[in-house]
């Protein structure tokens, strides 16, 4: 089965926007057993869109377009594809009602420009947009060839793909067996991860297993891919090998985030958490509160950027700050103990460090971090050196704090 | 001039890696006046690479491939393109010396696998790799058509493009004049933005201006593109039109983020800021502290997820919480006033709302938010209804708070 993706949008060709659709759609389709053979991005002008879709129709069983279904003048995909296929566009009442409801819920009048979003090529299946206005569209071109049009905004495209496109694929195309397991590790670098596991995986690679490694800030993914009748068995054997060797460092699998694992563990153990952040500036609290249900176990946090905030909100002593400096083991310790006491939480974790680019000294270079964890058992502090750009520094530090919480809660 | 990009790599097609080359190369090329007409991604197998390059050669003046120049078994681009063009591969002594020096500097023996990286198609220009081993290659195919091959790792591709490809473009292709201005707006939906400006932009569109709109969470970009001799004048006129109509809603231009604008304004006016976050869970503090230099004006924040945190850290009264509920105008007001008092900041902004998916009521549905801004002039509260998924809700709410700060500081 041949699958092609056509991304439309002049903002892509001008390099103003990162094309996240490619990765997301390729990933979802691969997980369903359909590996994308080609992805094309073109500007949203008439001739480009029609030429790209015409070429894809000559090769692919499934074509997915993204973008160009909205209400503005550069949204041309619906019209151009209908024209290419010689299909009439017909105003759809169900879509109109859906869009009217969207604006009514928000207490705003429906803009007349959204009229165009109600137009549907004759014979097309309609995917009502759960998170926006423009519907997705699917057309069987003949001989089991399908063309699917999805809207550009990721928050509209993603739920629409899961709700409508996945069932359509299952209905219209034979299942292909393809297993991809990703084991998520933290605490070891990419080449060391490979050194640890590659010899033991070699016999499975000889039997058709594909292994990939992907380094992310503070984490390394180990990807195990197999296809065909023996895929599940091969992938399970490979997973067992990696589990045996890297067990402690594996925090999750596939699309899990470490903050989801930590929130789940806190809920299971009925423990509450508070955080005290200096150098991460709210990122840790933000990641924890991205998890639905976090409010059950997360009491809150203090972003103590200025020293006065460390003293006033967390009870860090002025003498400690004066004697050791804000980035120190002693201050991290008092921040964690202070947060635990003030919030009345079971656990409190605190971070203080130098994110950079400025603020480093020979003794405490940019990247120096102290993380402290306070619990009923007392308080512990660990020192890290996270030499990265500012944004990566914040991510890596927050991940280290989450990993420490995960290990403590799993113990 | 037609420019096409061919990205090779099976990891792209499996959706395991985000293709950042597309945006980076498209942006750099557009800034040089060459807008990419098509970008294609394919797996790194023989037939796919040759077919994609053959098609591109039939259309484009400049083709840039990425990936497949390394030393491992899936690095096939060099060999396949030489084969396609009927060029012999010849071992290049300068490249060999460069690679030997690369490993000597690191005190490691040169792996024999790197032999393949010294092979150069006859007649090709060589771009020595400043940050790795595999060189880039450029070939004139005839009649001023050029094929450029760049290595896959971004830290190798990017400096190589700037050092070698930019001068090659200036030497081989006529300069094209191209101006792209993006005005960043907030507070108005995408179709309303177009309704406001399109009539007044129409005469400029008739003269060749291209206008694009791009909706992001809480913001809409208006893109103004012009090319040719009159480009600068046309773009400037268009910018003046949009400024006149949407002036108040424009928070920045091109790659600016609203948090950067707010930090810049706070530094200019020498005002300090504190935040009190409930429903945004630390995101606002996180966005502010992403800006280097934020520590000069940002004193810190409280993530008061639990009611007890609102009382203890911000001085919200138990009676107010009991009488109005945590998501209320009265609580937002006390949070902002409390944060300003406790941090001793010039400004304090507070948010309380229902991010969802759970927690809504008929009176206060999911998406209800109260934002309060406290300053020397007093405290004001605004109510919003942000009906989105949890992550978008947090982004939109934080952007509304930043926009309010921007307007207050610009006044």
Residue percentage of chain A with pLDDT more than 70: 99
- Write B170-176 long-range contacts (CB < 8 A, 24+): B172/B140, B172/B144, B172/B146, B173/B1, B173/B34, B173/B61, B173/B62, B173/B144, B174/B1, B175/B33, B176/B1, B176/B32, B176/B33, B176/B34, B176/B227
Span B336-354, mean pLDDT?
97
Q: CB-hemisphere CA count at 13 Å for B44?
A: 21
**How far does the CA of residue A9 sit from the closest CA of chain B (Å)?**
9
Span B178-207, mean pLDDT?
92
Question: Model confidence over B30-50: pLDDT tens digits?
Answer: 888 889 999 999 998 778 999
CB B369 within 8 A of CB B351: yes
Tally A–B CB contacts below 8 A: 298
Same domain, A37 and A87: yes
The pLDDT of residue B304 is: 94
CB B381 within 8 A of CB B305: no
Same domain, A16 and A103: yes
Same domain, B37 and B119: yes
Q: Supply the CATH number for residue B225's domain.
A: 3.30.70.2860
Query: Nearest to residue A218, comparing CAs of A404, A373, A366?
Result: A404
The pLDDT of residue A249 is: 93
The pLDDT of residue B172 is: 92
Which positions in chain B touch A358 (Cβ < 8 Å)?
Answer: 292-293
Of the residues A201, A226, A253, the one at which a domain ends: A253
CB B55 within 8 A of CB A62: no
**How far does the CA of residue B90 sit from the closest CA of chain A (Å)?**
31
Provide the mean pLDDT of chain B: 92
B16/A27 Cβ within 8 A: yes
Residue in A closest to B3 by C-alpha:
A13
User: Which range, A17-31, A96-110, B270-284, B350-364, has the best average confidence (pLDDT)?
Assistant: B270-284
A74/B211 Cβ within 8 A: yes
Same domain, A69 and A144: yes
The answer to whether the peptide bond before residue B357 is cis (omega within 30 degrees of 0) is: yes
Residue in B closest to A112 by C-alpha:
B191
pLDDT band at residue A218 using 50, 70 and 90 as cut-offs: confident
Range of the domain at A100: 3-172
Span B364-375, mean pLDDT?
95
pLDDT at residue A204 is higher than 80 = yes
CA distances from residue B370 to A209, B187, B287, B316, B366 in whole angstroms, order as listed: 53, 16, 19, 15, 12
**How far does the CA of residue A380 sit from the closest CA of chain B (Å)?**
23
The pLDDT of residue A309 is: 92
Which positions in chain A touch B42 (Cβ < 8 Å)?
Answer: 37-39
Span B111-125, mean pLDDT?
91
B303/A289 Cβ within 8 A: yes
Which positions in chain A touch B304 (Cβ < 8 Å)?
Answer: 300
φ/ψ region of B208 (left if φ > 0, alpha if ψ in -120 to 50, else beta) reads: left
The pLDDT of residue A215 is: 66
Same domain, A104 and A74: yes
Span A138-161, mean pLDDT?
93
Token pair for B164 = 């070698």
Which positions in chain A touch B387 (Cβ < 8 Å)?
Answer: 105-106
Whether pTM > 0.90 for this model: the answer is: no
pLDDT at residue A189 is higher than 80 = no
Residue percentage of chain B with pLDDT more than 90: 72
**Terminal-residue alpha carbon distance, chain B:** 46
B313/A70 Cβ within 8 A: no
A15/B26 Cβ within 8 A: yes
Residue in B closest to A285 by C-alpha:
B282
Same domain, B265 and B220: no
* Buried-state track A327-353, b at ≥16 Cβ within 10 A, e below 16: bbebbbbbbbbbbbebbebbbbbbbbb
Which positions in chain B touch A114 (Cβ < 8 Å)?
Answer: 191
pLDDT at residue A370 is higher than 90 = yes
Which positions in chain B touch A267 (Cβ < 8 Å)?
Answer: none
Span A383-398, mean pLDDT?
88
pLDDT band at residue A201 using 50, 70 and 90 as cut-offs: very high
User: Which candidate from A15, A212, A308 shows the least CB-CB separation from B11?
Assistant: A212
A306/B302 Cβ within 8 A: no
Same domain, A209 and A106: no
Residue percentage of chain B with pLDDT more than 70: 100
**How far does the CA of residue B123 sit from the closest CA of chain A (Å)?**
30
Of the residues A253, A277, A296, the one at which a domain ends: A253
pLDDT at residue B17 is higher than 90 = no
Question: Model confidence over B41-94: pLDDT tens digits?
Answer: 999 877 899 999 999 999 999 999 999 898 776 678 999 999 999 999 999 999
Q: Which residue carries 């108040």 as its tokens?
A: B248
pLDDT at residue A213 is higher than 80 = no
Which positions in chain A touch B185 (Cβ < 8 Å)?
Answer: none
pLDDT at residue A216 is higher than 80 = no
Considering its fold, how many domains does chain B have in total? 3
Same domain, A144 and A238: no
**How far does the CA of residue A168 sit from the closest CA of chain B (Å)?**
20
Q: What is the dihedral of CA B178, B184, B189, B191, to 10 degrees?
A: -10
User: Which candidate from B48, B300, B394 shows the least CB-CB separation from A306?
Assistant: B300
Same domain, B339 and B388: yes
pLDDT band at residue B215 using 50, 70 and 90 as cut-offs: confident
**How far does the CA of residue B192 sit from the closest CA of chain A (Å)?**
7
Same domain, B106 and B119: yes
B40/A40 Cβ within 8 A: yes
Helix residue spans in A207-282 (DSSP H)? 231-246, 258-269
Q: Supply the CATH number for residue A391's domain.
A: 3.90.950.20
User: Which tops the pLDDT comparison, B373 or A363?
Assistant: B373
Q: What is the ipTM of this complex?
A: 0.78
Q: What is the DSSP string of B165-213?
A: IHHHHHHHS----EEEEEEEEESS-HHHHHHHHHHHHHHHHHTT-EEEE
pLDDT at residue A195 is higher than 90 = no
Which positions in chain A touch B198 (Cβ < 8 Å)?
Answer: 73
CB A390 within 8 A of CB B292: yes
Which positions in chain A touch B281 (Cβ < 8 Å)?
Answer: 285-286, 288-290, 294, 298
The pLDDT of residue B258 is: 95
B289/A281 Cβ within 8 A: yes
The pLDDT of residue A244 is: 97
Residue in A closest to B359 by C-alpha:
A293
Q: Mutate which of B263, B286, B358, B385 to disrupt the A interface (most A C-beta within 10 Å)?
A: B286
B35/A25 Cβ within 8 A: no
The pLDDT of residue A191 is: 67
Same domain, A22 and A97: yes
Residues in chain B: 411
pLDDT at residue B309 is higher than 80 = yes
pLDDT at residue A176 is higher than 80 = no
User: Which candidate from B42, B194, B281 shows the least CB-CB separation from A113?
Assistant: B194
Same domain, B186 and B168: no
pLDDT at residue B108 is higher than 90 = no
B288/A284 Cβ within 8 A: no
pLDDT at residue A248 is higher than 70 = yes
Span B351-378, mean pLDDT?
92
Of the residues A172, A207, A240, the one at which a domain ends: A172
User: Which candidate from B182, B213, B306 shows the least CB-CB separation from A74?
Assistant: B213
Span B276-297, mean pLDDT?
95
How far apart (Å, rounded) are the C-alpha atoms in residues B321 and B328? 8
The pLDDT of residue A390 is: 85
């Amino acid at each position: 089965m041949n699958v092609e993706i056509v991304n439309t949008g002049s903002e892509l060709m001008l390099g103003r926007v990162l094309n996240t659709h490619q990765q997301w759609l390729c990933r979802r389709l691969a997980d369903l057993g359909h590996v994308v053979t080609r992805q094309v991005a073109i500007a949203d002008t008439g001739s480009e869109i029609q030429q790209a879709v015409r070429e894809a129709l000559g090769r692919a069983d499934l074509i997915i377009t993204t973008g160009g279904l909205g209400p503005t003048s550069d949204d041309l995909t619906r019209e151009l594809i209908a024209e290419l296929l010689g299909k009439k566009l017909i105003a759809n009442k169900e879509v109109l009602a859906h869009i009217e409801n969207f604006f009514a819920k928000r207490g705003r009048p429906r803009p007349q420009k959204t009229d165009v979003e109600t137009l549907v090529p004759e014979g097309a299946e309609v995917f009502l947009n759960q998170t926006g206005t423009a519907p997705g569209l699917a057309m069987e071109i003949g001989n089991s060839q399908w063309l699917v049009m999805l809207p550009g905004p990721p928050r509209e495209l993603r739920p629409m793909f899961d709700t409508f496109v996945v069932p359509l694929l299952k209905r219209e195309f034979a299942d292909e067996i393809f297993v991809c397991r990703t084991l998520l590790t933290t605490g070891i670098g990419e080449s060391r991860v490979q050194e640890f596991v590659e010899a033991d995986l070699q016999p499975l690679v000889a039997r058709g297993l594909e292994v990939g490694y992907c380094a992310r800030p503070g984490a390394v993914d180990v990807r195990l891919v197999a296809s065909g009748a023996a895929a599940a068995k091969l992938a399970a054997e490979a997973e067992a090998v990696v589990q045996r060797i890297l067990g402690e460092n594996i925090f999750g699998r596939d699309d899990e985030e470490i903050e989801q694992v930590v929130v789940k563990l806190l809920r299971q153990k009925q423990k509450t958490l508070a955080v005290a952040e200096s150098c991460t500036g709210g990122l840790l609290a933000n990641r924890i509160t991205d998890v639905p249900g976090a409010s059950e176990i997360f009491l809150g946090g203090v972003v103590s950027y200025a020293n006065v905030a460390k003293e006033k909100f967390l009870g860090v002593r002025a003498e400690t700050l004066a004697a050791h400096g804000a980035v120190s083991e002693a201050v991290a310790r008092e921040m964690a103990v202070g947060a635990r006491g003030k919030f009345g939480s079971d656990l409190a974790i605190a971070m203080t460090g130098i994110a950079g680019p400025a603020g480093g000294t020979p003794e405490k270079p940019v990247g120096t971090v102290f993380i402290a964890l306070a619990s009923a058992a007392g308080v512990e502090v660990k020192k890290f050196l996270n030499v990265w750009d500012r944004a990566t520094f914040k991510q890596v530090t927050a991940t280290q704090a989450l990993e420490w919480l995960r290990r403590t809660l799993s113990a």
